[in-house]
Amino acid sequence: MVICPDRKIARWAAKPIETGHPGLTLTPLVIGPDNTPAITNVEEAAGNIGLAVVAAITKNDDPLFKDILGTLNQALSRIDRKLAGQYGHYINVSLTGVAQEEWGRLMAMQTYPYQGEYAESLLAEGRAEGRAEGKAEGEAKLLLKLLEMRGIAVSEEVRERIAGCEDTATLEAWFQRAFTVESADGLFV
């Protein structure tokens, strides 16, 4: 099964695939904007929450998109809080652009019970990302300090490359090399 919010991709994905085995042609099941209903009734959405979620994801170009998301948001408040939080997260990562911004706006404006867990999961992700960025930033500063203490000249280009690196494993490898290199460019060999 393929879920495609884009009509063009949905049409492409629905094309039969010849497998090379006589008489065996795979015809993918494609869920897209043209075969998914626009669900704007809260009772209907709550009664078939899976379809309502898929409809929201595939109908991001529909003129009723804001109504579809608003309906889904209300329907999620009627189901198990943990499951609703998981659906909320899935919706957030599945939408893009204006659609994702609208979902984020709904999450920020409303106070349905499931949103607490959803918001907590987003905060936890943000904290983890912040810790990783902070660690990389600290390692980059230490690396630059080590080069300075060794009297090795650091060009602006090298400084930017080191400061812009977010991969701690790479920074650690450069740090190890910094003890023996003759020039800052030697870090990257």
Closest CA to 175 of 147, 135, 137: 147
Are 139 and 175 in contact, with CB atoms under 8 Å apart? yes
Separation of alpha carbons 64 and 70, rounded Å: 10
pTM equals 0.56
Q: Which residues partner with 3 through β-bridges? A: 31
Residue 59 identity (one-letter amino acid)? K
* Residue 20 DSSP one-character state: S
| pLDDT per residue as tens digits for the range 10-41 | 999 999 999 999 989 999 999 999 999 999 99
| pLDDT per residue as tens digits for the range 67-126 | 999 999 889 988 888 888 888 888 888 888 888 888 877 776 655 555 555 555 665 666
Q: Tokens for 70, please give them.
A: 């608003």
Compute the C-alpha angle 144/149/154, nearest 5°: 45
